[in-house]
């Protein structure tokens, strides 16, 4: 469980940094990061549901 928590925290930190670095008007980059965030959120939600069910 430590590994998944470490990975989720790492991804959250990286997403903040990447989103902050998007240049104004760079809609392609914004869309790509939006898609990555949706995947991250789905994984995080699934992880929390799993913790609730099994712990």
Q: Please write the tens of the pLDDT for every residue from 5-37.
A: 999 999 999 999 999 999 999 999 999 999 999
pLDDT at residue 1, rounded to an integer: 78
Domain total in the chain: 1
Cα gap 55→52, rounded to integer Å:
6
Confidence of residue 4 (pLDDT cuts 50, 70, 90): very high
- Domain of residue 34 covers 2-54
pLDDT for position 55: 85
What span, in angstroms and rounded, lies between the C-alpha atoms of 26 and 22? Answer: 7
Which pLDDT score is estimated for 27? 98
pLDDT at 7: 96
Task: Return d(Cα 8, Cα 33) in angstroms, integer.
Answer: 16
pTM of the model: 0.81
For residue 51 the two structure tokens come to 């913790």
Q: Would you give the distance in Å from CA 24 to the centre of its chain?
A: 21
- Determine the straight-line distance between the first and last CA of the chain, rounded to whole angstroms: 11
């Amino acid at each position: 469980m430590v590994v998944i928590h470490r990975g989720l925290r790492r991804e959250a930190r990286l997403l903040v940094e990447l989103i902050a670095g998007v240049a104004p008007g760079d809609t392609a980059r914004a869309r790509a990061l939006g898609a990555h965030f949706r995947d991250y959120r789905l994984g995080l939600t699934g992880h929390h549901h799993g913790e609730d069910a099994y712990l």
